[in-house]
Amino acid sequence: MPSGCFGRKRVPARLAGVALRPKARLCADGMLLLALFIAASLTRAETAAAVSNAPLRVATAPIAPFVLPNTDPLSGFSIDLWTEVAGRLHVDFAWQLVPHTDLLAAVERGDADVAIAAIAMTPEREKRVDFSHPYLDSGLQIIVRAEREGRLLDAFHSIPWAAIGQLFFVAILIVLVLGNVLWLIERHGNPRFRKNYLPAIGEGLWGAMLIIATGEHGDRDAPGVIKRILVVATWLLGIVLIAQLTATVTSSQTVARLQSEIRGPSDLPGKRIATVPGTVAADYLTQLGLPYAEVTSADQGYTMLMQGQVEAIVYDAPTLQYWAAKRGNGALQVVGPIFRPEKYGIAVSRGSPLRKQINEALLTLFENGRYEEIYTKWFAQAR
């Protein structure tokens, strides 16, 4: 019978104690390793079974129209699309809301099994995660404040009323000072100024306004030297105030015209731009050396545009088209062509078997027309 852990072999009696001990230890170690291997295999099988039965963790981010903010239950293009995909896969899932810039990181860390929203597929991102087949063609576009219907109304809204109010306040103070100076000079020689203070100051203010408007102040044939100096100084101050008012209004009108001239990416240099940080749009502007203000929500972007804090927002075309269609009753306008083309995909961890299953489900939705129905629901009115 062959020798081994379960075989028998005669050995000399004097060697039995020496030969059997190492062999027994070897057999015991082998049996222990076999038992550990079987236990580990069972543990892995149980873990895999538990994982397969657990709901998939699907990370997404509130960015309209892919995921509408502040909706319960969640609603949006990405929500409808993934619900259809999960139905084809026959799997349960649970949503995880994360910041848009943290979607890929959640998959990388293992905090989520899938990520879906407005995730552009790039070579750099492909090194971090695996992507499904692209399900939406996109790119960057520009949104600006829409031109108003009437020229008169547009001119009215473009006037900087706050700056003009400050200018008028300064002008009133100057006229008050000039009126008092004119009263001090005229109160002894001009009977119209020999009154109580308030009526006399009224005459002084009226005289100062006449000097500003006409450059004259009565009895010009025989004025005193001080009066001449006062008339000239008042008139010059009036010219400065009127010139400043004209310049303020003109500059505001020029800015409004420049804003309306943004028609594409070539018009962006020198303009005040905003975008969402950590996105393809932000990378694009950085590569061009164009500074930008940060936008964190649709409400903030709308406010910045309407208040003139920025002249344009550069971002993903589908989102901007949705903003223009849904917000401000026509107050926003998407201009120019789509540039920097990109495609959106569903992200999974590298090497995940989910990628193939998701691709098969997407192809089915493309083929049976269900994808077109979802797309039309969310984007038909935005274009």
What does the pLDDT look like over 151-161, one tens digit per residue? Answer: 555 555 556 66
CA 204 to chain centre: 56
**Residue percentage of the chain with pLDDT more than 90:** 42
177 pLDDT band, cuts 50/70/90, is: confident
Look-up of token digits 């409004």 = 256
Domain over 58-135+345-382 is classified CATH 3.40.190.10: yes
Residue 275, phi-psi category: left (phi > 0), alpha (psi -120 to 50), beta (remainder)? beta
pLDDT digits (tens, 9 = 90+) for 298-325: 788 888 988 889 999 999 999 898 888 8
For 129-140, what is the mean pLDDT?
Answer: 95
Whether 214 and 130 have beta carbons less than 8 Å apart is answered as: no
Token pair belonging to 87:
């139905």
Fold annotation for 168-259:
Helix Hairpins (1.10.287)
CA dihedral 347, 349, 352, 358 (to 10 degrees): -10
pLDDT digits (tens, 9 = 90+) for 38-67: 544 434 333 333 345 689 999 999 988 999
Nearest to 271 by CA among 301, 246, 308, 306: 308
- Within 10 angstroms of residue 129's Cβ, the number of other Cβ atoms is 23
The answer to whether 58-135+345-382 and 144-153+262-340 have equal CATH topology is: yes
- Within 10 angstroms of residue 155's Cβ, the number of other Cβ atoms is 14
Fold annotation for 144-153+262-340:
D-Maltodextrin-Binding Protein; domain 2 (3.40.190)
Nearest to 119 by CA among 36, 45, 63, 80: 63
Q: Where are the domains of the chain?
A: 58-135+345-382, 144-153+262-340, 168-259
DSSP SS3 for 269: coil
